[in-house]
Structure 1
Amino acid sequence: MSRVLVIGGGGRIGQSVASDLVKQLEADVTLTSRDVKTVQEAADGLASTAQALPLDLDDWVALDTAISSHDLVIHCAGPFHDRDARVLKSCIQNQVNYLDVSDHPSFTEKALQYQEQAQAAGVTAIINTGVFPGISNSMVRQDVEALDQPDTIHLSYVVAGTGGAGVTIMRTTFLGLIESFPGWLQGKWQPIQPYSGRETITFPSPYGRVNVFWFDVPERLTLPQTFPVQSVITKFGSVPEIYNGITWALAHWMPKSWLQNRRMIEFLSWGGFVTTQFTDRFSGVGVAMRSAVTGMREGQPTQAVSTLALPDTAIAAGYGTGSIAQLILTQTLEKPGVWPVEAAVPTSLFQQTMAQRNVQIEQVISSVP
C-alpha cells in the first residue's frame, strides 16, 4: 500500500486533499502539523489508515526523516509567499515524488529551479496542483489543444466568501496586493497593478455576472512558458461584491508599507476571515472558473471557453491535488522533473479524473466575429 505524507494536513486544504485520496484509492496517509491536537483530530476523522505526525518544517532532521519513509509527499502548508523549497529539495534527495498546492509565483520560481535535479533523481514533482492554480491550468490546456494556433489566454476566477478554507487564504489574498507584478501582454512582460483592470465576466450558475480584477497567480508565470501565446490575463473576484470594493481600496489606497507589515497582514487576515465566516451563510463557499483561449482554428478566428462551478473551494482544491496524486500513485503519470500542472497532466487524464469525481466542465468552441 502506498504511503502518502500530507504536510499541513491539519488545515482545511490539507484535509480536503487527504479526504479525496482515501476515497479514490487505498493508501496509508500521514497528516502533519505543528498543532498536535488539530492534526490528530483531522486524522481521526479521516480513515482508519490515517495517522497524525506533529512536525515543524524548521526541524530539518525530522522533516527529512518523515519524507524518506513515504512514497509521495504533498505540501499543503501555506501561505507559500515566503516558503523556501526545502520540502521539494528533501524529496529529490530521498527520491520521493512530490506535489504541492502552492499559489504564489515567488514559490513557483523557486521550485522550478530544481528541474534538472528532480529529472536526474527520477522524481516527478508537480507544483500548483489545487483548484486555481491546478484545475484551472488543465482547463487552459484543454482549450489550447482545441485550437491550431492559440494567441490569448484569459483566466477568471470567482470565490464566494472564505471558499471554505482557513485564514491562510486571506493572508494569500492580502499578500498579493503588496506590489505590481509582470504580466505577459502582446508578447512582452509589462507591469500590472494588483486589483486593477476591472472586467465583468459571466460565470456559471449561481454566480452569473461578477466583477474580476488583475491578480498575481502562478498561472500568469507558467502559462506563457508552456504555450506559445502572446498574452495571458489572470483575473479574480469575490462575492458578495462588497469584498471586491474592500480589496480594491486596500490595493489602491492603503500605503504599501502598511501591507508589508506582517502585523497588519495578520490583522487584515483575521478580520476578513471572521467577517466572511458570517457572510458564508448567505454567499456559500464555492468557486467558479472560466478559461477562454482565442486563436486560429482551420484558418478562422476561434475561441475555446471552458467553465466550471463547484460548491466548496477547499474541496475543489482536494479534487485537483488528489487527482494528480492518484495518477502518480497508480503509476499512470510519471514525468521526472519539476512541472506546472499544464505541462505535466495530459488532457485525457485530466478529463478522466474529473469525471471520476463528478466534476462537470463545459467547453464551448465558437467562431470569433
Structure 2
Amino acid sequence: MPCFRILIIGAYGQFGRRIAEALSFEPRAELILAGRSLAKAAALLDELVALGARAAMSAAQIDVEAPALHDRLRALEADLVIHTAGPFQQRDYRVAEAALACNAHYIDLADGRAFVAGITRLDEEARTRGRWVISGASSVPGLSAAVVAAHAPRFATLESVESAISPGNRTARGLATTQAILGYVGRPHRALIDGRWRSVHGWQSLRRIRVPGLPSRWLARCDVPDLDVLPARYPTLRHCDFRAGLELRRMHLGLWLASWAVRGRLAPGLERWAQPLLRISEWWLHAGSDTGLMTVDMRGIGRDGTPLQLQWSIVAEQGSGPRIPATAAVVLARKLMRGNLPGAGARPCLDLFTLPEFLDALSDSPIWTETRELALSR
C-alpha cells in the first residue's frame, strides 16, 4: 500500500508539532515537516525519531508568502497539506488554492471568523478535483461543532449555544494565537444575542466559568468562527456566543481594561504589541496551573417538551491542553489516509468527524470530559 504524504506547514509551532507527533506513529504516513526555518524543521524531525516515530519523515523549507509557493508545493507532491502557520485573520487562500492546484487535500487550524466562513468560495473547484478543503479544524469550530452535533438529538428545538475556553497559565503559548486574540480586543463584532444580531466588543462582557472541582475563572467575549457557522448550521438558534479567559486575574482583567482603551479609540489595536505582551505574560509562567478547560452550554426545548440545559466540559491536565486544538486535524488526516472521509468540497470544519472519534484520539492524554444537565435559568 503506498504511503500517504502529509505536508505540515508550521510543523515546529505550538500546534504543528503536536500534529506531527501524533501522525509520526502512523506507519502508512510520510510526513514532510515544513516551515520558514529548515533548521527548526530538521530539529523536530530528530526529536520525533528519538520518540520512536514509525512514519517516514523529511524536513523542508516553505514560506507561505513566497511567490513560488505553488511550485514548491508541486515539487513536494503531498496528498494532504495541513496549514498551521497562523494567524489567519486578514489572510487570503493562497495556500489552499495552491494545494488544490497540486491535487492535494487541505486542512487548516484557522480561527479567523471571516477566513473560515469564506472557505466555501473554493467549493466548486474542490468538488471538481475530488478533494477536501477544510478550514477551522481546531477547538472552534471543529470540536465545538462536534459537541453540539453529539448533543443536538436531545433537543426538539436547540435555541442557544455558548462556548468558552480557558487555558492553564502554565501551558505553552504561541505568538500566532496571541496575535489572533489581540486583533479583536476592544473591537466590535456581530453576534446572535437573544434573537437579534447585535454589535458586541472583543474581550468585554465579563463572566465567570465554573466547572466542578476547579476554581472559577474569568471570561470575556471573542470573535470566532462559531458565531457564523453554528447559526447557519442550526437555524433554530436564537443565541450564539463565545468567550475565552486567561487563568491569572491580573492578565485577564488587565486585557479587559486595555479593551476599553481600544473601544474608546484612546489606543490603536493591540496586535502590534503581541511580542512584548507575550514576553510579559511569560514572567508569570510559574503562577496558576497547567490545567485548561473548555465548556459548551446548550439550551432549548427537550424531546419531552420541557426546557433543557446541558453543559459539556473538557478538562486537560498536566499541560495537555494544546493537544485539543491540534486533534481535529489529526482525526481528519487519519480518515483521509484510510479512505474514511468520502466526498469532496470546501467547507468549515463541521460534520466531518464525531465527538467519540475526537475523544478517542486523545485517549492517551490526562484529559476528561463530562456532560451535566443544569437547572435552566431564563
- Relative distance call for 1:232 and 1:162 in structure 2 (3 A) is farther
The answer on whether the counterparts of 2:186 and 2:260 sit within 8 Å (CA) in structure 1 is: no
**Pairwise CA RMSD of aligned residues?**
2.4
Q: CA deviation at 1:352?
A: 4.0
Give the match for residue 15 of structure 1: 17
Question: How far apart are the structure 2 equivalents of 1:84 and 1:283?
Answer: 37
Q: CA deviation at 1:249?
A: 1.4
TM-score if structure 1 supplies the norm length?
0.90
The residue identity in structure 1 corresponding to 2:31 is: V
Q: CA deviation at 1:178?
A: 5.3
The answer on whether the counterparts of 1:164 and 1:286 sit within 8 Å (CA) in structure 2 is: no
Matched, 1:59 2:61: no
Question: How far apart are the structure 2 equivalents of 1:133 and 1:257?
Answer: 33
Gaps of 5+ in 1: none
Give the match for residue 228 of structure 2: 221
Deviates more, 1:174-183 or 1:54-63: 54-63
Aligned-residue sequence identity (percent) comes to: 18
- SS for the counterpart of 2:180 is helix
Question: How far apart are the structure 2 equivalents of 1:39 and 1:182?
Answer: 39
- SS for the counterpart of 2:148 is helix
Gaps of 5+ in 2: none
Matched, 1:208 2:210: no
- Relative distance call for 1:257 and 1:97 in structure 2 (3 A) is farther
Question: How far apart are the structure 2 equivalents of 1:284 and 1:307?
Answer: 18
The answer on whether the counterparts of 1:204 and 1:309 sit within 8 Å (CA) in structure 2 is: no
Question: How far apart are the structure 2 equivalents of 1:318 and 1:46?
Answer: 17
Deviates more, 1:169-178 or 1:71-80: 169-178
Give the match for residue 242 of structure 1: 250
Give the match for residue 300 of structure 1: 306
TM-score if structure 2 supplies the norm length?
0.88
- Relative distance call for 1:35 and 1:358 in structure 2 (3 A) is same
Matched, 1:368 2:370: no
Q: CA deviation at 1:30?
A: 0.8
Give the match for residue 294 of structure 2: 289
Question: How far apart are the structure 2 equivalents of 1:149 and 1:25?
Answer: 44
Query: CA deviation digits over 1:233-275, x for unaligned, max 9?
Result: 1011111111111111121124648434xxx634x32222222
* Structure 1 or 2: more helix by fraction: 1
- Relative distance call for 1:236 and 1:20 in structure 2 (3 A) is same
- Relative distance call for 1:111 and 1:64 in structure 2 (3 A) is farther
Query: CA deviation digits over 1:185-217, x for unaligned, max 9?
Result: 233321111122111120354x43112111111
- Relative distance call for 1:347 and 1:10 in structure 2 (3 A) is closer
The residue identity in structure 2 corresponding to 1:58 is: E
The answer on whether the counterparts of 2:229 and 2:348 sit within 8 Å (CA) in structure 1 is: yes
Specify which of 265, 272, 276 is matched with residue 271 of structure 2. Answer: 265
Question: How far apart are the structure 2 equivalents of 1:27 and 1:333?
Answer: 16
The residue identity in structure 2 corresponding to 1:307 is: S
Matched, 1:34 2:36: yes
Give the match for residue 331 of structure 1: 339
Question: How far apart are the structure 2 equivalents of 1:108 and 1:190?
Answer: 20
